[in-house]
Amino acid sequence: MSETKQILVVDDHFEMQDFLRSMLELSGRNYDVIAVPSAEEGWLELRRRSFSLMMTDLRLPGMSGLDLIRRARQLQGDLPVIMITAYGTPQGRQEARELGVLRYFEKPIVNTDDLMSAVQMALGETMVGIGQARPQVEPSVKDTLSNVAQRLAALRQETAALQILLIDGDGNILIEDGQDCGIELGPLAATLSHNLGNTSFVAEHLGGDDPSTIQYYAGAAVDLYVANIGTDYFVMVLFEGLSRRARIGTVWVFLQRAANDLLNLIAEAKAASQEK
């Protein structure tokens, strides 16, 4: 079992705390996240224990994030730091750079992949660095279909879902992963495919090229999320009732990221199938 990495999050906005905590805890890695709303409380935590990474806001009530970093350097000089702020300035970036801040992100966080890559790099977990190309291997049909299934399984683990399904525009269930939730999925998939069939029209009406839709349904024992994968597919994700109702935004972030990956993997599978 891998060593637990201790991560300190310092942000006075509880929504941001919750977002970062969820992103880290649902990443499938062994992270223990401590989140506090002020630099003073962050300083107390730093004095209590050793951390593998600190993620801090710049503007905080009382002591600033930069002041906290200066103090942290006295205790743990090699502590990796990622700064996240809604008040980015060239001066702030320069000060952060001089203090050895690894990465400097501005709110709102748009690219969660970039943020997670920075976290993994800070913790020494990134196998392929930024700017390094992964080796390109020509995929077979079997490999690409397997990759789609693996990405669905990863999404289920990231979000702690009970069950996840990939469904085409006609309501046919193509791939399932997870436990049986005791729901008759066929009729449900057919109904949802009809509903999502209107998303292209809505996207076009709103001036968009590609639909980007998420639907949420609260049930007694099971909650359901549905998100389109391009125009021809969608994923259906089932959770234990109440378990993710307070984190709808976080689930949406993971669904958006997975949707882009799945769209590319499905395209690869189609191309490989045509070449075979």
Please indicate, yes or no, if residue 74 is contained in any of the structural domains: yes
For 42-78, the pLDDT digits (tens) are: 999 999 999 999 999 999 999 999 999 999 999 998 9
* Of the residues 67, 91, 122, the one at which a domain ends: 122
Please indicate, yes or no, if residue 127 is contained in any of the structural domains: no
Check whether 24 has a pLDDT greater than 50.
yes
Query: Do residues 70 and 148 both lie within one domain?
Result: no
The total domain count for the chain is 2
Please indicate, yes or no, if residue 131 is contained in any of the structural domains: no
d(CA 86, CA 265): 34
Please indicate, yes or no, if residue 128 is contained in any of the structural domains: no
More confident residue, 273 or 10: 10
Which residue range(s) make up the domain with 169?
A: 141-275
Please indicate, yes or no, if residue 54 is contained in any of the structural domains: yes
For 147-203, the pLDDT digits (tens) are: 888 888 888 887 888 899 999 888 888 888 888 888 888 888 888 887 776 776 776
Check whether 141 has a pLDDT greater than 80.
no
Query: Do residues 102 and 200 both lie within one domain?
Result: no
Give the CATH number, domain containing residue 35: 3.40.50.2300
For 98-131, the pLDDT digits (tens) are: 899 999 988 877 677 788 888 988 898 743 333 3
Confidence (pTM): 0.54
Query: Do residues 176 and 232 both lie within one domain?
Result: yes
Mean pLDDT score across all residues of the chain:
82
- pLDDT value of position 6: 96
- pLDDT value of position 150: 86
Query: Do residues 58 and 96 both lie within one domain?
Result: yes
Please indicate, yes or no, if residue 182 is contained in any of the structural domains: yes
Give the CATH number, domain containing residue 165: 3.30.450.30
User: Whose structure tokens read 């962050």?
Assistant: 42
Query: Do residues 267 and 155 both lie within one domain?
Result: yes
Are 54 and 10 contacting, i.e. CB atoms less than 8 angstroms apart? yes
- pLDDT value of position 218: 87
Check whether 89 has a pLDDT greater than 50.
yes
* DSSP line for 208-251: -SS---EEEE--SSEEEEEEEETTTEEEEEEEETTTTGGGHHHH
- SS3 label, residue 52: coil
- pLDDT value of position 184: 85
Structure tokens at 224: 């359901």
Contacts with 231 (C-beta within 8 Å, 6 or more apart), sequence order: 169, 199, 200, 210, 211
- pLDDT value of position 132: 38
Query: Do residues 103 and 147 both lie within one domain?
Result: no
Query: Do residues 263 and 165 both lie within one domain?
Result: yes
Phi, psi torsion values for 34, nearest 5 degrees: -110, 120
Please indicate, yes or no, if residue 215 is contained in any of the structural domains: yes
